[in-house]
Structure 1
């Protein structure tokens, strides 16, 4: 009867402590009332005291006078009885989501009428009663089945917040006495079932907290003796004797002295008489209330159970991402599918002390948990592992190996027969388990914004979340989807219910360093400390790369860029270091060859870069910016020609630009690195690298224009403009004017270009002045003022000729020809454009050839030579296809469509427009229109 009752209560407890979706009252820790998986907002302190008094007297009437005394004492107001009635009305409204009729009015007072098992203290007491009955009947395993989950219901101090209410202090003290007695009963049950070593650490702590309890001292001595630590057991007796003498001036109680004599004599009866197989372990730590999201990962774990043989799941992810939380939540969900028990061991792969659990220590604890007598445990690790596998053979047991450091630590702890399942969590990717043991990898990613929002909602009251949506959005954004960061902020908010969420968001925003807002009350809830456990496990070279990677701008990093950051040409070695960081989940290879880092980890790395390892962060940043600038220069030459190419300073020693061999690879590099290059411009401008800022922005012009990223192009030039010297400002103004003109913002474009022209003229930089006049001519052309455009362009042509700048001459000849064509002067226009085409072909300037062929085709079309025009347009499109200049290609397709219509070839005309349409749509998507 008792066992059946205990099991039904255990199922309730799993529901309470598991998914958090059970309704009920929780007093064994912070006082809470849950409904629909969320805690209710109970209101102010007096309402909480009132409800707690009713809960402590569940089913019994509490007199109104008693309530008044507990709420106000001698300071009770004259209308206290009426106020109590008002409070009761409020509480009934608060408790409406739980159910109606919970608070019942009686003539003398009020009572709380709860459903069975709706109060965790009642569940606790019933489980304890059931466990004691099983222990008295000689069934220690069944006793542990009841006592372990009973104790797991505790989350902190019972009624601890109600220090001013004498009745609640008394009830809390009673429950704590019962908790300690139940703990002693549970230890007796596990000792009776054969446990030993696994209890030593817990009992050592308990005797330190409760030195006057001789039962705990006896239990500790027996556990030490069973673990083969006879000398420790004798030393424990000496400490116990000193404690009793100091506290009460008495000798140790007779029962304790008797255990001392048995230890001295080596009494075998202390080893216990239960044989193997009598203990069903239930070692899972409590589940986390309010578990959020992770549906995909839970489904992956569920599907893994369908596999044959030993099921092994390797859960990995970065520090603070919730690996242990996920593993335990899932383990509690499937515990009933493993009737022979659940084993748990923390392998301490990443801890504050760095004290990693050796496999021999872990396996000894697991054998103890399985009730293996000490004398039957062999000395060697291999023999212990064989015995462990034998104990699990033929059982259905779930094993959770938490916080593993590497594969070698895990392998001896794996069962050998089908029916068992293992969940391993680690910050490192345990690739060896996947390849060698067929483990199912489950990589835990960051929470999506809706999941982050839900996590905060579950930790705090829904009303508090709904009242400040903007603050919640900022908090979730700054936490970056990292569950530990969200938990730290939620904990601070819960501890300070009067703080607004906006004030907490402001703390995060104003923190001097990124991680200053994420410090909890202990090492496991301090992000710096948690991150450090992974960092300190790295090799020296990988640690150096991690520190410097925090300096890198942009969303991700490649191996060549990382090599320049380190100042080495050994790209193969750098790839190995990046792989080490990825295995430790300090970076993520989100696409092949590209590595990204969580922003909070980036903040930690940046802090370290300034204080550890001896690297100069500024020199490392300089090398990285040199890498991007010199690679971008090479890519621009290959993709768009050298006609307005900058001459830049040589790179620093240790910089190795990417090796780009052709136009295709150069374009692919620009596409992949665009977000990084734009971030590098901003970073350079903000951190005193003005030359890099304007030169990178200038070098990206061809690519950004060709791809239609007009707003990004303008933003890069503006960023460069803020810090550049006069020369850099002139180039930035030219680039900004160019971008604004492409966006149709002509007055602003002309202002910027005239400023640039004035500076270039003052510096006697004739080539740059000519390029700027050429750009001015194009702006006037776009506005339809072709005569002014021709004037600027002819002036540019003269300057280019004076400087023997042949690329510029070719561009200017084509632009003057285009201007004449717009004025209807087709013959001179054709001569100038044909001169430009010859020069472009000599120079092998693909961009110039395509633009000039388009001009010539336009002129032939206007002269009625439609077949020749179509030929020119098709040749231009062939060239544009190689250089991938989207706006010009779309314009030429439109010209070709007009020509085909003039030839009455409407099918080809429609084809040309159909080909132009997706290009124009992609330009719209890129922000080009």
Structure 2
């Protein structure tokens, strides 16, 4: 058995598959300093300098001699004496394993007589020599492979050899060695790697495999932003992947970086490539690639599959274009003039449209934006800042940042906690993008400034009822005040609604309607809706009704135009049937951005079949909108008017109770489908008149939660404001499973903090303990771990005071998970064993299985893979008996990992495949991505490169979609870049 040494990453040694303990860090540094010059004499003084530099301690030579003596013994003990025959090493045979079946014991074999092993670390006159074969050191293997690659005339063979060479790298060379000599040598070796990376990319591009090259090119460019050859390769790959705009944009990024860092322009080769991409030179097209069934290119599936995996989502969030938009030609030309050019300096162009409520600011902005989609190929973001919401505070800056980052592909689980960090992330993600931001209904300058992108190619449209002079003076915003429609435009709008014949038949009535509506588009739309509902009603009669209604509202007038809207709304409201008018008032109690029919029915305390025609009546009257089938919303002026009316309605408190009851009991029933084996807890009683939604299966429950997520979080806050502490706590509990599965950790943490405050007011220590535990879970996922430990320890104290062994056990499981995330595997095992003991004593079989799986995972992380398999098999049997699908998904993943570590890659792949199937069944996206990543590992280890590529690419796509773009995505990119090698990516 030969020892192998690793320098391209942490300094390590392996005897066969077994790692060799090389001692403490400085001792490993001594070995590394000798391995760099294997088979060559290294003088003692030079060895001291390599290891310590100028900081060598007194007596360094004696210390060095001690280290070398220990290393000599370690190397001699690591490699057993060689046998005198050709017998096989039975410990390294491939194993076949069937879950749950005992394994046959190997028969004793006659032991051959050992022969002496030659010494490897030699002392010579003046120094030391490490007598190991150079092909046992990964650094020399890397150099030999790259040298062979440069001698190849075939691109495919050259790419294969370079891929194999790069697959030897496991991290920073000489990892952990810190001395001037090592630092200088590290830079030289990394330069060798960069050259190999460039050569391999060149071979891939020559082979027409630009889609495979792109993930590696993107990763390499992030670390080498000034390398012009790398920039050229990335530009060519992007161009061939039909992303020419990104290619041209990258040229400008490199050009700016070179100018700022070095004060130079790009070289002629890069400038020429830019020109050729600009004119779509056909000679830049990829060469034809033979369609061999087993070729790596054909294994990727559709062309560009690997590219799609690394693309961020392109947001298209603009509202639908207003279908009866009229006029505003001068204003549209002004918007085009102000947003058509660059902003001041390197800032994006910024326009603020201000005007009274209902004047059509949003319509103008959306109408213009819809006609400019080609100018913003990276997407359009829309956000209602709720600056003048009648029943709520403006959208907090931190939450607004979360919404924008979500649109840019950053999941809740990846959101920084601090507002400043979110601002920096937003600016980083928009630096090189061409995005349109429509920030609607802003309250003030302070609400807008943190939301501004940094890229000069972006554009920002802000609407507000106030003039945001701070944006103009401090941020170069261009202002545009929107006035009411001209008389001609007002007539044109009525023409669109009612038809020219009807409008021209009664000119005096039309003139009065236009005047009474103050030429406000919102008011005109409401009146037109009434007229459309009564096609034979004379317009003169409508004008008379409006005149009478308005004369009665003088006491409400405050000299502003919105009082005219109030008059129009009052007139339209009085025309409603009594049940519809009551429903309009009660809808103001709903705190969310939109609601479904069952929620409206609960507000009314009536069956959905009774409420549906009332909702249709409100839609026909333009007092409500139905942007999606069965989901309703309204303009904030309409909400403000309804809010005024509802304030005096004695039925509003009971309606709010019914609404909260609707969401609480619907969420409770849906949660039972997501976690049927959780600890049951009945919510407060259901009020009379509530319509409860009852999803029929797991998929329907997930869909319901997805549609109602924003409303549910808003209702938690509404229950808190209303002092309904029991409801607030139980509703938070009911949404916890869903928010966790979808990685909405920050929203869940906010709700749990609210629930904890409610439990504290209730003086309910059991509820406080559970809230602390769930907060600990959230912080385990998002960090910081210190906060996770704080809440979990508080939960543990409360459960112990209550004598709640089940609560203690659940908290121990969470402490185990937190320690596992920190890499403290023995502490994790301690917590999980304690949880297992408690669950076994309590007879809680589902949670016993969960703890068993956790113990198995801990054993796998500690290297005891057979024990891991045994624990996981026991857990799986319990979960299958109980029908616990989510638990089975996790346990199959543990089984797969353990089998894979045992070298049983086929069994590992089977287990990970089953885990993937079950995670998809329960809708656990993060679990799905993890299972795919592990499945790819198993395929890669067994040599099935196409299957590994497919699994890793899918996993990368999900991680990027969730926003986990750091450790998980970086690891997958590395594996994808190193996939086409003779070896297996580690």
| TM-score of Structure 1 vs Structure 2, range by shorter chain | 0.3 to 0.5
TM-score normalised according to structure 1 size: 0.47
TM-score normalised according to structure 2 size: 0.45
Q: Which has the higher contact order (CA 8 A, sep 6+)?
A: 2
